[in-house]
Amino acid sequence: MSFLNKEGDSQANQDGVRFTPDVFLENHKQDLQLYPGLRVFSFPSGDNLLPLKSDLSPKFEKLWASALSRQIDDKLVIDDSAVFPYLPTDKVIILQNDKQEIPVFFSYREIETPKNGLGLYLHICLIDQAYQGKGLAKKVLAHVINLTNAKYIALTTQNEHMVQTLRPFCQKGNLYPIDAAPDEDMGEIASILISNKAGFNVDTFIRKSVYANGSPLYGDRVERHSNHEDIRNYFIKNVDFQKGDALLVIGKITNPLVNNTV
């Protein structure tokens, strides 16, 4: 694995500390077996990746393009992959294969409210198409839930499969607004997560035209349908996929040990 600059030297942070492949592996590799041939690396903050940005940028662009069904030179791919992996507010998990590619990027934030305690906001979960359908999102999520002992989890998405990923952790009656109208507790969490209330419906938890300037996040413009009838029906009724709508979902974690075999 190489995390070197264009001249082949190891990169340095602002304090002059050299970032070599060995240092990278030693400090951030996790002893987890999520999927054969994939190594897991964890970072307490996205800005930990900044000294490696020149090496990581083409890897992230490739992942963003595959996961979002867009071209590698798409403006959204280039812009988003240059910003979101490096956010200081996010904790980051990346998976690397034997070809030194990054087929999985996962970032999240810990949030806390007076009434509901510690929870997680899943900011980004991108999986290369070659690795989709293998349960990786659920496995990473199970690891993070058990690591943090979170009581609830939230995400914003227009991908029904991501909502479906939460279901094993949030049993029937605990996934809002799919199972029930958001109650006061869910409203409290939403008020923390949604700083800009414009376009946000507090009854349906729909965020209008939040993606790609009012168009689908996915370049192929194809909806990602869940095989869970309740999730599918909610999206049909409330989400205008083609106009970039997204759904804020908040689930109370009732089964944290799902797939806790890592």
How are beta strands 104-113 and 117-127 bridged, if at all? antiparallel
User: What confidence tier does 100 reach under pLDDT thresholds 50, 70, 90?
Assistant: confident
Is a pLDDT exceeding 70 seen at residue 19? no
> pLDDT tens digits for 179-231?
999 999 999 999 999 988 899 999 999 999 999 899 999 999 999 999 999 99
pLDDT over 90 for what percent of the chain? 77
* pLDDT tens digits, one per residue of 175-193: 999 999 999 999 999 999 9
- Average pLDDT for 57-71: 97
Specify the pLDDT at position 15. Answer: 47
Q: CA–CA separation, 183 vs 54, rounded Å? A: 45
pLDDT tops 90 at residue 247: yes
Give residue 97's identity as a one-letter amino acid code.
N
> What number is the average pLDDT over the span 158-169?
96
- Go through the domains of the chain in sequence order and give each one's CATH number: 1-129 (3.40.630), 151-262 (no CATH)
Instruction: Name the residue with tokens 């990346």.
Output: 94
Mean pLDDT throughout 9-33? 57
User: Whole-angstrom Cα distance, residue 160 to residue 39?
Assistant: 27
